[in-house]
Amino acid sequence: MNRVPPGLSGRPDPVPGPAPVPVSRAGRDAWIPPVPRARLRRACLVPVLGALLAAAGAPSRAAPDTTPPAWASLPMSFTLGAEPMRLPRGERMGLVGGSLLFEASPGWWAGPGVYGAATGERAGLFVGGIELQRRARLSERLVGALGLYAGGGGGGAAPVGDGLLVRPAASLLWDFGGWQAGLSLSGARFAGTDMGGTQLAVLVAWDGQFRHTDPARAGHALPQARGSGLGFQQGQVSLVNWQLQDGSGRRIGLASARLVRPLGLPGLDAGFEMGAAATGGAGGYMEILGSLGASVQPWPGVQAGVRAALGLGGGGAIASGGGGLAKVSAHVGWSPLPNWTLGAEAGLVRGAGEMPRARSVQLWIGRDLQPAATPRASSAPGTVAALEWTAGVQRMQRAARRDGRRGPVDLVTGKLDRSLGPMLYLTAQAHSAFGGDAGAFSTGLLGLGWATPAAGRPWRVGAELLAGAAGGAGLDTGGGAIGQALAWASLAVGPHSHVRAGLGRVRALQSGAGLDSPVWELSFSHRFGLGAP
């Protein structure tokens, strides 16, 4: 937490040279004012980082630029917490939440977060949104924070109403140097329901730096290989097949995405992954997990190893319990082309209580996200790629439910777009309902987009074609596979920021499924420049 707060543009870090030296922020003791409830429902919400796969891909190379890019470091903090939540009729549920916060201005932190059910009988309840914090150092080691989280979601047949979760909190953290731990008094409640109250939460936080450069340099060569962004080395997209071990022989297909980050020791890595059901009549099932992996290279271009993952999952037409989920697997990968990997994985899935038990097989394709740390002397270490973060709201105007009703559903939307060339980009998106009595409905999408260049132009136009998985709240998505097409236009409101409006259509891909609706959205985006291979 003791970081220099450079704001969104960051403070230049000359290259080559060391990273900026952290300094104390003692004495910042301002607090956020109370926010009227009426304003909370109009908040701009952002769902979690299971959408981080949009970091995959890389731009095409432009002619070498001899001017070294000025790297900047934006302080960031990853927080993980756990707390109980009261439900009607005395029922209790354990809630686990994680947030990725950035110091946008001195003492003010903001970023996406996700909460999910971990104990009780509501497996599959997930909420994605955005958190705002005001932090102040009360002493050399003690840090105080006032925060407000607002997000949309639901699941697990929980009585969440429209799905809007509001969580004001006051926290005290002890700084151990690079990481913090403490307690938080939380007032989490689903708006308009009896679900929630005031409870004590346990928090742990880790410091970090988000390194970036000018996105206008996208396509230009990097003078040296240096880690940037969130530090993930590879992004993977998977097709997964489960065979449930409940005597039914039932098979379920999932679409999954994973990000992998080296741990600094040979062959060891940490991962973050998200998945959702797309076939097998389990629309609405979702999972979020963290993993540890170990691998060796028996032959050039070939890797083999094992992976263990732990997290939350549930929903859909799958037996549910508290929400805890564990996986173990063995994998093999082959790199037919530089920066690309094809892989296969087989393993076991085990849940707590009545959660699913299954055998799992998956095929995946991976793309390196960072240039090699020690590139060949005859080649450039990589290029600059543009990464665009987008947060906003979307409305499905005539969403169909299984009971035949149609009506509007409002969703919070979060996107990550990674440039593949001057006008082409890869996009990953997540959407969660917060209005229209559809609190359990969520989607995850991946696709390609086209847009006019951003540099030096106030207006941009673009279009996207996406596919993914969705389900929950009784919406008629069939097995869960959906597609979406969207055209949009944006106006610059800062050097690298835009407001965007879009219009398109979303529909279920399974024959006979009723979801087929116009969609419109309003959003805000900000661009960064990152290193790419």
pLDDT at 6 over 80: no
Is residue 78, in this structure, part of any structural domain at all?
Answer: yes
Do 361 and 387 belong to one domain? no
Q: Which of 212, 244, 265 is the last residue of a domain?
A: 212
Is residue 219, in this structure, part of any structural domain at all?
Answer: no
Is residue 65, in this structure, part of any structural domain at all?
Answer: no
Q: Tell me, what CATH number does 265's domain have?
A: 2.40.160.20
Do 166 and 17 belong to one domain? yes
Reported confidence tier of residue 223, pLDDT bands at 50, 70, 90 = low
Q: What is the DSSP letter of 39?
A: H
Q: What's the chain's average pLDDT?
A: 85
Query: What range does the domain containing 469 cover?
Result: 383-532
Is residue 227, in this structure, part of any structural domain at all?
Answer: no
Residue (of 500, 521, 389) closest to 100 by Cα position: 389
Number of domains in the chain: 3
Q: Is 354 left (phi over 0), alpha (psi -120 to 50) or beta?
A: alpha
Do 416 and 393 belong to one domain? yes
pLDDT at 19 over 80: no
Is residue 53, in this structure, part of any structural domain at all?
Answer: no
Chain segment 413-434, per-residue pLDDT in tens: 999 999 998 899 999 999 999 9
- The pLDDT of 504-508, averaged and rounded, is 97
pLDDT at 9 over 80: no
Do 178 and 272 belong to one domain? no
Do 205 and 97 belong to one domain? yes
Chain segment 277-321, per-residue pLDDT in tens: 999 888 889 999 999 999 999 999 999 999 999 999 988 877 767
The angle subtended at Cα 484 by Cα 281 and Cα 442, nearest 5°, is: 50
DSSP string computed for 21-34: PP---BT----PPP
- The pLDDT of 40-51, averaged and rounded, is 35
Do 169 and 25 belong to one domain? yes
pLDDT winner (highest mean) among 20-24, 53-57, 85-89, 167-171? 167-171
Do 446 and 506 belong to one domain? yes
Q: Please return the burial class of 2, using the count of CB atoms within 10 Å of its CB with bins 0-12, 13-18 and 19+.
A: middle
Do 75 and 202 belong to one domain? yes
* Tokens read off for 283: 């629309």
Token pair 């963290």: residue? 290
Is residue 415, in this structure, part of any structural domain at all?
Answer: yes
Is residue 6, in this structure, part of any structural domain at all?
Answer: no
pLDDT given at position 284? 87
Q: Tell me, what CATH number does 84's domain have?
A: 2.40.160
Reported confidence tier of residue 225, pLDDT bands at 50, 70, 90 = low
Do 517 and 446 belong to one domain? yes
Residue (of 247, 227, 505, 519) closest to 381 by Cα position: 227
Prior bond to 12 cis, omega within 30? no
pLDDT given at position 2? 45
Q: Which of 368, 399, 430 is the last residue of a domain?
A: 368
Do 462 and 396 belong to one domain? yes
Do 189 and 240 belong to one domain? no
Give every CB contact of residue 456 below 8 A, 6+ residues apart in sequence: none
Q: Which of 147, 181, 212 is the last residue of a domain?
A: 212
Is residue 5, in this structure, part of any structural domain at all?
Answer: no
DSSP string computed for 457-493: -SEEEEEEEEEEEEE-TTB--TTSEEEEEEEEEEEES
Do 26 and 95 belong to one domain? yes
